[in-house]
Structure 1
Amino acid sequence: MHRLAFAAFISAAAVAGPATAATLDVSDPVAYEAAHRTLVSAFQAEMQSKRNGPSLARQLARHERELPLRELCEGCEGVARSAGVGEAFEPSVWLFQPEESVGGKGRAAPLVAFPPAGNDSQWKTVDAIDASGRWVTLDAHNPPKVPVIVVRINGELSFERQVDLANAALRQAGLQAKAPEAAATRGSGRWTTRLESVRLNDDEEPWISGAAEVYAVTAGVLPGNQPQVQIVDMPYLDHDGTTYYPRQVVLDWANYSYGAANILFYEHDDNTNYQQLVQVLIQAVGQGVSLAGYPVATAIAEIAARIVAAMPAHWFSNDDDYVDALYTVEKTRGETRSGASGNITVSYIPYELPVN
């Protein structure tokens, strides 16, 4: 799988508004690790004082998804604020269960760990803390044989917040215009492209990373070939080798001037700073040579090419994974197809969104 990431262009203040010096930058490996160690220690200490580790593990096993850390650890919210975890983050926890323990009684106190900093292909070990407060070392690529509660500052729940913030920043930068509200009558509608099924062949995620957080960057044009870019979360797409049937609207053609667009798929990682994600999109398609005068098809292809080309891997210690790309998705055409890299297979249809 290719590993590409996002570069910085405009200041973080321009993207997300005023920030304080204490705001955590998860792309800084030292700050990332320090904040996680602090939260993991606080969570383990509270869990030990209440002796509720096994019951928390069973609760997480029932939900099978990340839960907000603040709901499971009363003292962790204040600790998180002290560590610089601001409004863009929702620290979360999930349970790794070894296969041999699934369905068991789960009465042993679980370890508590966090995903390491750095590129996940270079991870060797995972630091975890046991019930006595002692730090132990786990293998990053061979799953442990004991349950592990994983704490994530910048996990799935954080990314849900960040998608909204990122799209707001794109609108502020003039790269995401909303279609004007038109008079509509009952029974009429607007045309969209709806994703019926999707299957990811390989997400290359180590056990400590848990479920994938896949998102799409959609790119088309407005009049004068002005770029129209949006980030679309796909929170259901958790695991490779599984077909999902989301019936998710991924393109609203009222927001585009022409009936073709491209969809680029990426996989969010914990060390990604969403501000930098937005910055590279602004750099790639909002600056430089104008696309005015290009043939429309060329302009649409050029926007996607600029996004991909602007993602040097060295900007992140743990790069967002490039998953795949669908080029030239057409407004009036539905089909089942593989992405350009053969790593994702999707089925989509034209869908008229009715007006109530």
Structure 2
Amino acid sequence: MTQVLKAALTSVAAFTALTLTAGAAAAVPAQTSPRAQAPSKVFTITDHLARQVAGELADQTARGHVASTTASGPADLLTIEPDTRLGQEARAANRAVLAAKALPATSGSLLRLRLANTGTRAALERGEVPLVAAAPTDDEPAEVTAYDPLGGKVLLDPVKAPDRPVLVVEVDVAKAMPMGLELVRDVLADRGIKAVKPSASRITESRTTESQALAANGYWATKINAIRLNNDQEPWIKGAAEIYSVVGGFGLDGAPAVNIVQMPYLDNDGTTYYPNQLIVHFSAYKYNLADVVMMEDDGDTNYQALATAIANALLSIADLGYYVPLVNAILSAIPTSWWTDDPDYVDSWYTLSTASSGRLNGAAANGWMDVAPYWVSAL
């Protein structure tokens, strides 16, 4: 997963009162001890399963089967040895992971096995005994704990990949995140927070005759032409990032309204992407302003907790007749544990408007977006 810079962090209390305009410096969450928090529930589950998988690989036949099933990419752990003790362990672990992420038990398999250091694939196929580790939810682990088939622990350098094959037990975040974000949308709707639904008709319901005529033909949006997150030295054991953004503003009725935007292309730090993605739809907002909070799912996100944090933050904000940025309230409501060992916060952008264009640096200095106004024509 992508690694987030932990730079220049100030207290939450200091930024909750700030009202920022576009391009102004912003405070970011307070930093706590990077080792203060216990391992996440998901990591505890996958770490235990990694030890079980390692034990099964003492058998040469099992090693050959695993080598073949992971040859072309990650393999579904529930299907590798479905009728064995390992299969039972995997199914139990999958149920526990679904519960830890607040996903329905009917969501299917989320656990997979991946060869982390692909340069050792030939060695694995020759029958070399691999180590097995769980994907850490910490982007800056001091070490990576792996297991050998005898149950022994092997501590690995998080920066330099070993020459020995390492199989990783991990959550398929690309599969989990769409289900989880849909849960977030449902919870927000149940709490009375409207989703942003691009529609010219919503503008025509509450604006003047002149504006109605304009809105009937379309609306303005903000388009991302290019985007880049800062390059950090990330653990070799991590896979691609799964990024999403919480885009919020005041709806036409004056109540906070949000849109959860997936950014599945944004895999790696230090890479510039050119998505041409619409990030803000201004047809749904009372003011000509909206905020963006970018987050990363490291595999351990509890979507119910995420939704509750966002809802509690937004429901505390009142329309005062002028625009108040929503970023600070969202960040201050997110549990402190999310900022330690598991930096899910990536960056934030304040007060985007229909006139926003050019390069916009994130408030946390973790990345930038090149944006431009985009006219969405009505059909």
TM-score strictly above 0.5: yes
Distance 1:236 1:180, change over 3 A: closer
Partner SS state of residue 223, structure 1: coil
Distance 1:80 1:278, change over 3 A: farther
State the match for 2:131 in structure 1.
111
State the match for 1:74 in structure 2.
82
Larger radius of gyration, structure 1 or 2? 2
State the match for 1:21 in structure 2.
none
1:139 is the counterpart of 2:162: no
Query: Using the alignment, how far apart are the partners of 2:232 and 2:173 within structure 1?
Result: 16
Amino acid at match of 2:6: H
Distance 1:156 1:124, change over 3 A: same
TM-score for the superposition, normalised by structure 1 = 0.74
Whether contact under 8 Å (2:360, 2:369) holds in the other structure is yes
Amino acid at match of 1:221: F
State the match for 2:171 in structure 1.
153
State the match for 1:255 in structure 2.
284
1:176 is the counterpart of 2:205: no
Distance 1:225 1:30, change over 3 A: closer
Query: Using the alignment, how far apart are the partners of 2:79 and 2:227 within structure 1?
Result: 32
Q: Percent identity?
A: 29
1:241 is the counterpart of 2:270: yes
For residues 259-338 of structure 1, the aligned pairs below 5 Å read 259-287=288-316, 290-296=317-323, 299=324, 301=325, 303-314=326-337, 318-338=341-361
1:95 is the counterpart of 2:115: yes
State the match for 1:2 in structure 2.
6
Distance 1:243 1:29, change over 3 A: same
Could you list the per-position Cα deviations for residues 124-143 of structure 1 after superposition, in whole angstroms to 9, with x for gaps in the alignment? 332234xx454441325232
Whether contact under 8 Å (1:221, 1:257) holds in the other structure is yes
State the match for 1:32 in structure 2.
42
1:317: Cα distance to partner? 6.2
State the match for 1:217 in structure 2.
246
Could you list the per-position Cα deviations for residues 5-42 of structure 1 after superposition, in whole angstroms to 9, with x for gaps in the alignment? xxxxxxxxxxxxxxxxxxxxxx9737535521454356
Query: Using the alignment, how far apart are the partners of 2:76 and 2:255 within structure 1?
Result: 39
State the match for 1:8 in structure 2.
none
Amino acid at match of 2:177: F
Query: Using the alignment, how far apart are the partners of 1:148 and 1:213 within structure 2?
Result: 22
State the match for 1:12 in structure 2.
none
1:221: Cα distance to partner? 0.8
Q: Aligned pair count?
A: 318
Amino acid at match of 1:344: G
- In the alignment, structure 1 segments of 5+ residues that lack a partner are 5-26, 61-65
Query: Using the alignment, how far apart are the partners of 1:180 and 1:249 within structure 2?
Result: 11
Whether contact under 8 Å (2:198, 2:281) holds in the other structure is no
State the match for 1:59 in structure 2.
72
Query: Using the alignment, how far apart are the partners of 1:137 and 1:30 within structure 2?
Result: 21
- Aligned-CA RMSD value: 3.6
Query: Using the alignment, how far apart are the partners of 1:161 and 1:179 within structure 2?
Result: 19
Query: Using the alignment, how far apart are the partners of 1:351 and 1:71 within structure 2?
Result: 46
